Amino acid sequence: MKIELREWSMDDKESMANICNSVERDYLSNRLPCPYTIEDAKWWLNMASKQEGKEGVFRSIMADGEIVGNISVEKKSDVYEKDGEIGYFLATESWSKGIMTEAVRQICEIAFEKLDIIRITGLIYEPNVASRRVLEKNGFELEGVMKRAVVKGEKVYDLCIYGKLK
């Protein structure tokens, strides 16, 4: 299987909306609208285009030429300006195939090259073992756990803080 990252374009708005509406949301931020409309996709794609290479890197995850997910590293600000936060999601039918492990490897390489950062931080809900393993396979180290830091629906989770240095 060929895994590659590609910059998003406005032509991808339907694909973005479809993936965002079908993705498993148990461990995702609530800032991802649900349902995710074409207008939401246009807004996000426009933002990503404007900030690309300056405030972040934003990529579609392609598996054998098909968009199966989203991944980004966004720079933080203020005293955290040399840190970027990684975020990603993958269509459920693409899980457990090594796709995200390879996508994280590629985005870290791109982010360290294009952004003025010295580290990348990953914030993962404690029970999301698969996502934690993806980061660990890519050299991220568990730096700490914030107890009862995330409220998602009716559940309260610990938040695992992972870091990777340039």
Bridge partners, 162 (sequence order): 122, 142
Structural domain count, the chain: 1
Q: Is residue 130 part of a domain?
A: no
Q: Is residue 88 part of a domain?
A: yes
Q: Is residue 89 part of a domain?
A: yes
Q: Is residue 46 part of a domain?
A: yes
Q: Is residue 126 part of a domain?
A: no
Distance CA 54, CA 60 (A): 18
Q: Which domain holds residue 8?
A: 3-117
- What pLDDT sits at residue 134? 98
Q: Is residue 160 part of a domain?
A: no
Q: Give me the residues of the chain with pLDDT under 50, please.
A: none
pLDDT, tens digit (0-9, with 9 covering 90-100), for 114-130: 999 999 999 999 999 99
Q: Is residue 98 part of a domain?
A: yes
Q: What is the CATH number of the domain that holds 99?
A: 3.40.630.30
